[in-house]
Amino acid sequence: MAFLEVQNAGKIFTSSSGKIYEALRGVNLQIEEGEFVSLIGHSGCGKSTVLNMIAGLGLATSGRVVVDGNTVNAPGPDRMVAFQNHSLLPWLTVRQNIALAVNAVYAKTLSEDERNALVEEHIMMVNLSAAADKKPNQISGGMRQRVGIARALATRPKVLLLDEPFGALDALTRGRLQEQLLKIWEAHRITVVMITHDVEEALLLSDRIVMMSNGPAAQVGEIMTVELPRPRQRMEVINNPNYYRQRNELLYYLNKAKKAKAGKVPATPVTSSVNSSLEKSTLTLGFVALSDCAPLVIAQEKGFFKKHGLDVTLSREPSWKAILQGVLEDRLDAAQMVAGMPLGELLGTYQRTAIPLVSAMTLTRNGNAITLGRKFYDQGVRSREDFKRYLEADRSGKKHTLGMVHPFSMHNLMLRYWLAGANIDPDHDVNLVVIPPPQMVANLQAGNIDGYCTGEPWNARAVHEGLGFVPVTDLDIWAGHPEKILGLKESWAEANPKTHLALIKALIEAGHYCADLAHREEITQLITQKKYVSADPIYGTLGLSGTYDYGFGRTEPVPNFNSFDPTVDNLTEKLWILTQMARWGLVTFPENWQDVLARIYRDDLYRQAASQLGITVPTATYQPLTLPDGMTLDPADPLAYLQQFAIQREINIAAVKLPARLLYVA
């Protein structure tokens, strides 16, 4: 049991006129001893209610809060609160305010001298000795807040609860106090729960950030682990590439919550309009600004969706994470996803219950490249072996950081595979961070990252601007690998089987249209429009042209850089993804991997749709898969394959119990 647990807590307020307001429903939170956790969310999301529940100032109406094994049923000095407006007593001096708390808590257990010493110690801690005999209205707002924190800490609580401690201060003072609090916390490692709506403050201070959903009946929306090393300093933190990514994720979440609150983002409409044979004809599909969103754009622009009775809105999403989130919360009906996303969701989700996703078809193959910063080229780096030598010779002591787009994406797996192939451990010799594709170039330019693996036009852009070069494309690692897939919730597929088939059919036809090299120029024109990729077509025509610019004068014909063939003939390609995800500890390798793959990758649906279109598809089977480096994955024994790698993480193998199927009656 965790040190502090909020167990399925709910809070219902009844107003004096008898109106009932449900502020919280089923809030669960586990906080370890010594952890710093922030609660973030819009006003009215119930974050203060959660804090008051922990403090005991307002008890949960259902569920409970347990601190150090004791159920909270009243306020007490073991859970001290530093209030938003400091709540110092204005008629007492700084010293008397702190002494009031110390004397109340330690009246019987400590002698008067010991109590005085405790008061002085905490006045010193917040550096207020000179103001100790002043009254609160004689000192500045920042100093008052420090007294509030000193008073809270002076009682030596088990848990310190901070209610927007710096909300009312000016930006400069706030920054200074945040650093002071950080130092005090790092010295004492007390358990802290802090409410804030300042994203940067939460990132700087917290170990984890709890994002609350909107009220009424607010819940814990997401929990983010802050990936910034401690001890932290503001100036170092803001140069960490994780900082901007996580900041953006938080802002994205808050923004989305705000829109949802204003009623601007309703869940996708449930109605079926013209074509009554479909369960649902109005769809919202998510995509990320990359050249391989082409099948979706073409299906829309060339009328394939319409032909199959679908009225589609394409929603440009800022990151793959947003795509996944959008599908899980029914904001998107379906989306372009990275190939490993359904596997990662099912096998690699630990903080909440996994929601089964299915993918009936592969939308694109290939289309990625690795970009390294210009400085490596200037040092003579041309291949991964050169890169390895460079890293070994580098004495700067600073780890190089490479960006990829999502942990479950092919970019992550390919980049790791490529690095490990040259004996570079992707977790120890370099630092891998998640950055959404459209932000890669800016981060490279800012020096936050030293290279990345992503799709086009984001490599072409760095090459074109002379920021870096492409040592290798994914075709050199594994030509024809599955890249983007059509992903949606299994429950959605079961509720809308006909719509699902119509969607697959439209995308098959769009894929064939894209595959025709004669259409490439038109496709480039269509997808570079503002509402889709919004890029200048000049960027190597996004990898669609058939020739590929590696940078610094090296240009080669790569006709299949983006491939749009949805057909699968070797099922082992999905198994490869699973083995690599297990290799890097991203997921548990399921003993029943065939069941897992068959449950997610619904080749049967693809075949059904293809045959309705009159396309014959060769039967797909599990066959051995050999990559250009000579490694062979034999589906008869994937574990033996996994054990061949010199560099890998600890591999978990277990029988995975698949979630029960929800059966929908149409």
Partner 1 sequence: MTATSEDKKVLTAPTPLASEKANPLGEFLQKADFILLPLLAIGIFLGLWQFFSAIGKTGQIPGPVQVLTDSWPLISDPFFDHGSNDKGLGWQLIESLKRVAVGYILAAVVGVSMGILLGSFKPFRTAVDPIIQVLRTVPPLAWLPIALAALNQAEPGAIFVIFVTAVWPIMINTAVGVMQTPQDYRNVADVLQLSRTTYFFQILIPSAASYIFTGLRIAVGLAWLAIVAAEMLTGGVGIGFFIWDSYNSSRMSDIIIAVLYVGLVGFALDRLVFYIGKWFVVSE
Determine if 176 is a binding residue for partner 1 (CB under 8 A).
yes
Interface with partner 1 (CB under 8 A), residue from 39, 72, 139, 410: 139
Interface with partner 1 (CB under 8 A), residue from 51, 54, 94, 101: 101
Beta-carbon contacts of residue 169 (< 8 Å; ≥ 6 apart): 141, 142, 145, 177
Q: Single out the residue of 317, 563, 575, 612 nearest to residue 437, CA to CA.
A: 317
Site for partner 1 in 143-172 (CB under 8 A): 143, 155
H or E, element range at 66:
strand 62-67
d(CA 502, CA 497) in angstroms, rounded, equals: 9
Tell me the window of 135-143, 224-232, 277-285, 551-559 that interacts with partner 1 (CB under 8 A): 135-143
Number of Cβ within 10 Å of residue 510's Cβ equals 25
Determine if 140 is a binding residue for partner 1 (CB under 8 A).
yes
Q: Single out the residue of 180, 218, 178, 184 nearest to residue 51, CA to CA.
A: 218
**Minimum distance of partner 1 from residue 16's CB (angstroms):** 12
**Minimum distance of partner 1 from residue 90's CB (angstroms):** 5
Count of all residues that appear for the chain in the document: 666
Determine if 77 is a binding residue for partner 1 (CB under 8 A).
yes
Query: Quick one: 96 or 570, whose CB is closer to partner 1?
Result: 96
Tell me the window of 69-77, 369-377, 419-427, 644-652 that interacts with partner 1 (CB under 8 A): 69-77
Interface with partner 1 (CB under 8 A), residue from 104, 270, 442, 654: 104
Tell me the window of 139-147, 254-262, 359-367, 496-504 that interacts with partner 1 (CB under 8 A): 139-147
Determine if 83 is a binding residue for partner 1 (CB under 8 A).
yes
Determine if 232 is a binding residue for partner 1 (CB under 8 A).
no
Q: How many CA atoms lie within 13 A of 63 on its CB side?
A: 19
Determine if 322 is a binding residue for partner 1 (CB under 8 A).
no
Tell me the window of 20-28, 36-44, 87-95, 111-119 that interacts with partner 1 (CB under 8 A): 87-95
Angle between helices 141-154 and 171-188 (to 10 degrees): 20
Determine if 100 is a binding residue for partner 1 (CB under 8 A).
yes
**Minimum distance of partner 1 from residue 549's CB (angstroms):** 54
Interface with partner 1 (CB under 8 A), residue from 28, 116, 180, 592: 180
Q: How many CA atoms lie within 13 A of 474 on its CB side?
A: 29
Token reading at 303: 């009328």
Site for partner 1 in 43-62 (CB under 8 A): 55-57
Angle between helices 94-106 and 141-154 (to 10 degrees): 20
Token reading at 148: 């509030």
Determine if 9 is a binding residue for partner 1 (CB under 8 A).
no
Site for partner 1 in 401-460 (CB under 8 A): none
Site for partner 1 in 536-575 (CB under 8 A): none
Q: What Å distances lie between residue 583 and 389, 482, 579, 639, 645, CA to CA?
A: 25, 18, 6, 10, 8
Angle between helices 520-527 and 294-301 (to 10 degrees): 90
**Minimum distance of partner 1 from residue 139's CB (angstroms):** 6
d(CA 97, CA 390) in angstroms, rounded, equals: 60
CA 562 distance to own-chain centroid: 26
Which residue bears the tokens 């010493």?
Answer: 117
User: Interface residues with partner 1 (CB under 8 A)?
Assistant: 55-57, 75-77, 79-81, 83, 85, 87, 89-92, 100-101, 104-105, 127-128, 130-131, 135-140, 142-143, 155, 173, 176, 180, 183
